[in-house]
């Protein structure tokens, strides 16, 4: 499970790097934080970059929580897959609490780019995580839960990439 959690967090950060590189941004780091020296962000570019990590985790969670036919799993995922989903849930909890007002953090970037409050930006990330936690830990999860999770993620991603 630990390897899944670490892999999920690494994938989150790799999502930021992939989007930054695709836009031609220079990528560096300051301690554990990824930085983009000299970049003059457009609002849409900042929104896409700030949200790239959790978008990556959303996609990975769907890959874990669905079977090869893209149907909701009938059995729980293995430890690695559960760790991937747990990393997304954990990052979302951090966004709601200790990382919500971190300057140059994801919530701050989404808020600055979109004009929404830090609370609303954190909720954008946390609602799918809450639904995915239900999917991961719940017994006899109603069919609308995974459908709502996918719909919410899909609408958010469409909004982010057409902003």
> What confidence score (pLDDT) does residue 33 get?
83
pLDDT, position 103: 87
The pLDDT assigned to 104 comes to 82
Helix (H, G, I), strand (E, B) or coil at 30: strand
What pLDDT is attached to residue 71? 94
pLDDT digits (tens, 9 = 90+) for 54-106: 999 999 999 999 999 999 998 999 999 999 999 999 999 999 999 999 888 99
Cβ contacts of 98 within 8 Å, gap of 6 or more = none
Average pLDDT over residues 12-26: 96
Could you tell me which of 27, 26, 89 has the C-alpha nearest to residue 54?
A: 89
CA distance 73 to 120: 30
Query: Which residue range forms the structural domain that includes residue 53?
Result: 2-162
Task: Summarize the confidence of residues 2-23 as an average pLDDT.
Answer: 97
pLDDT at 32 over 80: no
Is the whole model's pTM more than 0.85, yes or no? yes
If one counts the domains in the chain, the total is: 1
């Amino acid at each position: 499970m630990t390897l899944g959690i670490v892999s999920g967090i690494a994938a989150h950060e790799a999502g930021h790097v992939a989007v930054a590189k695709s836009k031609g941004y220079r990528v560096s780091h300051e301690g554990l934080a990824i930085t983009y020296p000299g970049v003059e962000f457009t609002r849409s570019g900042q929104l896409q970059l700030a949200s790239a990590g959790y978008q990556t985790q959303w996609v990975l969670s769907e890959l874990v929580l669905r079977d090869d036919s893209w149907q909701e799993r009938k059995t729980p995922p293995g430890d690695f897959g559960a760790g991937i989903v747990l990393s997304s849930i954990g990052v979302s909890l951090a966004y709601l609490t200790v990382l919500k007002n971190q300057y140059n953090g994801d919530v701050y970037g989404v808020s600055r780019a979109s004009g929404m409050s830090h609370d609303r930006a954190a909720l954008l990330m946390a609602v799918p995580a809450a639904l995915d936690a239900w999917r991961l830990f719940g017994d006899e999860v109603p069919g609308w839960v995974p459908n709502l999770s996918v719909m919410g993620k899909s609408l958010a991603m469409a909004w982010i990439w057409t902003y």
